[in-house]
Structure 1
Amino acid sequence: MTQVMKFTPDDENEVHDMARFSDPGRCRVTPVVRLSPEAALAVTTALSGVVRAAHRSPATTTRDGDGIQRAQTFEEGDVYMLAAPFDGFFADRYLMDFYDVVERDICSRMHLHTGLRFVRMMTGPATRIQVSSLSPIDVNHVDGVTPFRPDMFEDAAPGAPEGTRRTRYNLVVPENAWADMQIPRGVSHQFNAHGPHAVIDSVHPEESIETLRERITGYRMMAQTIFLAKGQPASAACKLD
């Protein structure tokens, strides 16, 4: 697989040319379970509550003894690093409390990471997550086991340079559901939550390796992100209905 590197390791808003970008692989989504509205709301509320508590705590909004600020902010939502890497274990894990793109009238941008990701997406009542990529998204379906087939559609990717059209491949995680997503290193992806109850539980199995490879000063989760659009579009660019 092509090794994706940043031009400027410490740049948290580095943008690469979408017109010339080519995915080295594909994302894969595995539907896991459908829940009752009551159960889904209990799960998403409890997990988002952890993130919100972290963003109110001085212990997680300032750097700890290892130089890590565990409460951070991404374009898609607020984040709390549950577990940091350490010698002999180079993965970290975080929770994201999604913003509602309709409420904020702004979408996240297509992006990629210099290391692979594993993501569990969870939705509650009246909430869906739109997952997008510049390459078709593979869905892992096992007859008799997989609980649902997510809706999928194609449209034009927002943020493409003027005069250029890139196809965006979309998958929708329905309300009251869990779905896992495997994101290979350097593969484009985008998350936009529609509704108030959406959480991601994510594992970065290459986080420390990335930090060393990219020669990043300090430890910031966003530093492994490369964007494929200069600015965030209005919510019409990720409208579902």
Structure 2
Amino acid sequence: MKVDADAENEVRDVAAFTDAARCVVTPVLRLPEDVALAVVGAFARVVRDAKASAAATAPDGEGIVRSQTFEEGDVYMLEAPFDGFFADRYLMDFYNVRERDLCSRMHVHTGLRFVRMMTGPDTRIRVSSLSPFDVTHVEGVTPFVPHTFEDDLPDAPAGVRRTRHNLVVPPCSFVDVQIPRGVSHQFNAVGEHAVIDSVHPEESIETFRERMSGYRMMAQTVFLAEELPPAATCADLPPGRPGA
């Protein structure tokens, strides 16, 4: 998928891009505020401890740097791939887009992703894609239906219009998203308490396939815009369903 396997800012023409499939979203549960804050805060502390750790910020015996940085936030490779097990697992501590006045860009990955999004009080995550989301709903089990809406992709080139499909993860909730390889997506947290637990089930395979020189999230990413857009393009969430 990549022109330059190790490029950390490879950009494709969004006008010509077509998703290979759709993201599938599954609401998992809602939590009381104090419980959600404790859980999200505990995960965030792992990432922050790693960022301050000499061991996590330097290559280990396999050459892997576990503490990394992505557009949406700081990440920590909690579990690395090894011979016979080609998946890994990252935690991400989201930036609050309103604090830094920047949103992440729409992008695709060279391998599929499984992401569990977790929010605390007064925090929402806006998930976006160039294709509609398929939302799982099992009557009597699924705890809520997330709010969805459409707008125009804000950082498209002049004269190009692409519809952006958006889904809002409400406060104090867990929501899963299955992201097939080559499918556009964009995460932006509005609020202080948001983390994701992300499993990359083909990390070693995609690194070998793309002929990358190491495990770096930025090198496994293809962006669909040149620059990070301002917070106004992702922080303003329209009113949703009650409790959303």
Q: TM-score range by the shorter chain?
A: over 0.9
Matched, 1:226 2:222: yes
CA deviation map 1:149-174 (0-9, x unaligned): 10100000122111000000000000
Partner of 1:50: 46
Question: SS at 1:131's partner residue?
Answer: strand
Matched, 1:87 2:83: yes
Question: SS at 1:60's partner residue?
Answer: coil
Q: Among 71, 74, 81, which residue is 1:75 paired with?
A: 71
Q: Distance in 1 between matches of 2:14 and 2:236?
A: 23
Partner of 1:133: 129
Q: Among 116, 119, 124, which residue is 1:123 paired with?
A: 119
Q: Distance in 2 between matches of 1:121 and 1:218?
A: 26
Partner of 2:21: 25
Partner of 1:41: 37
- TM-score normalised by L of structure 2: 0.96
CA RMSD of aligned residues (A): 0.6
Matched, 1:147 2:140: no
Q: Distance in 1 between matches of 2:216 and 2:72?
A: 16
- TM-score normalised by L of structure 1: 0.97
Unpaired runs of at least 5, structure 1: none
How far did 1:105 drift? 0.4
Q: Distance in 2 between matches of 1:49 and 1:147?
A: 27
Q: Distance in 2 between matches of 1:199 and 1:169?
A: 21
Q: Distance in 2 between matches of 1:168 and 1:220?
A: 27
AA matched with 2:163: T
Matched, 1:63 2:59: yes
Q: Among 196, 199, 205, which residue is 1:209 paired with?
A: 205
Question: SS at 1:145's partner residue?
Answer: coil
Q: Among 187, 196, 200, which residue is 2:196 paired with?
A: 200
Partner of 2:240: none
How far did 1:223 drift? 1.0
Partner of 2:184: 188
Q: Distance in 2 between matches of 1:240 and 1:43?
A: 26
Instruction: Extract structure 1 runs of 4+ deviating beyond 6 A.
Output: none
Question: After superposition, where does 1:165-180 map in structure 2 within 5 Å?
Answer: 165-180=161-176
How far did 1:32 drift? 0.1
Question: SS at 1:61's partner residue?
Answer: coil
Partner of 2:241: none
Partner of 1:237: 233
How far did 1:239 drift? 2.6
Q: Percent identity?
A: 70
